[in-house]
Structure 1
Amino acid sequence: MRQKKILTIAAATASLLFLVTASYAGTPADCAGKTGCAKKICEIEAQITIAQAHNNTGQVNRLKAELTDVKANCTKSSVKAESAHDNARIDRKIADAKEDMAEASEKMEKAKAQGREDKVLKYQHKIEEKQMKIKHLEEKKGGK
């Protein structure tokens, strides 16, 4: 039973890590050399391609509308303002993840003291997930 629980936690962690990695995959390589509005347009076009590959018509339509809006209204100052807003949001997410990590570390120490290996593993995985999330957020922020 204990081994099954650990395997279930490990499987859930692996799935979550995949989702986190996929959601923070970052900018496609062909957009990396672009800046400002050109980069924003390139990124939206890349997202449209992904949504089309997954037959997500709702997402495709939303992204096409966003692309039309960006092409019509994008300016250097609007990109700068959006980037500053995004960086502030990323900073908040990093702070939240660090707080969650500290809480999990504290709980892990209590579990160690109680000899609860299953809980220790659970909190170790949670800490690793938060570390990965922080790393991806910092990469995302650095790429702006």
Structure 2
Amino acid sequence: MIKALSLLLTVTVTVLSGLLFFFSAAPAQASLNCAGLTGCDRKFCEIESQLKIAQERGNDRKAAGLAKALAEAKQHCTAEGLRKELAEEIEEAREDLAAYRADLKEAEEDGDADDIRKYQQKIEEEQDEIDQLEKELSGLN
């Protein structure tokens, strides 16, 4: 009886682990398929990948929104438009970075260790985002 229960528990945990891996890895796998593309082709690929995932998961509202976004992108996407969008995103990220640095300075003045760690983490994440956006922008040139 205990062996049967143990086996059932092991099988259940294995199945759940596999499902968790599948659903958490699907977006990553989808973006990997688009990694070799640039510009509008990459944008279309990424939207199509997200659309496929939404459809597979039965998320009809998200799928409808993504289908609309894909149609809009295919109608209006240009390399210059993408450059402009990326430049705007970089500027917004730099503004966020400056705000986080000001918050960090204030936290350091207050001696708040938790806030110091929090803002250091946010600064690092924001800098990584800026680096990624700049890399994407340079790939369009």
Residues 31 and 39 in structure 1, CA contact (< 8 A), matched pair in contact too: yes
Deviations 1:21-55 (A, max 9, x none): xxxx8x92322221110011122223334544665
Go from structure 1 to structure 2 and tell me whether the alpha carbon gap of 1:54 and 1:142 turns closer, same or farther (over 3 Å shift): farther
Amino acid at match of 1:37: C
Amino acid at match of 2:100: A
Residues 107 and 123 in structure 1, CA contact (< 8 A), matched pair in contact too: no
Aligned residue number for residue 107 of structure 1: 110
Alignment of 1:55-70 (within 5 A): 55-70=58-73
Identity of aligned residues (%): 29
Number of residues of Structure 1 aligned to a counterpart in Structure 2 = 108
Aligned residue number for residue 98 of structure 1: 101
Q: How does the TM-score come out when normalised to structure 2?
A: 0.60
Q: How does the TM-score come out when normalised to structure 1?
A: 0.59
Question: What is the alpha-carbon distance in structure 1 between the residues aligned to residue 68 and residue 133 of structure 2?
Answer: 25
SS at match of 1:28: helix
Go from structure 1 to structure 2 and tell me whether the alpha carbon gap of 1:46 and 1:142 turns closer, same or farther (over 3 Å shift): farther
Compare CA radii of gyration and give the structure with the larger one: 2
Amino acid at match of 1:31: C
Alignment of 1:48-87 (within 5 A): 48-52=51-55, 55-87=58-90
Q: CA RMSD in A?
A: 2.7
Residues 90 and 141 in structure 1, CA contact (< 8 A), matched pair in contact too: no
Residues 47 and 66 in structure 2, CA contact (< 8 A), matched pair in contact too: yes
Is 2:39 the counterpart of 1:36? Answer: yes
Runs of 4+ in 1 over 6 A off after TM superposition: none
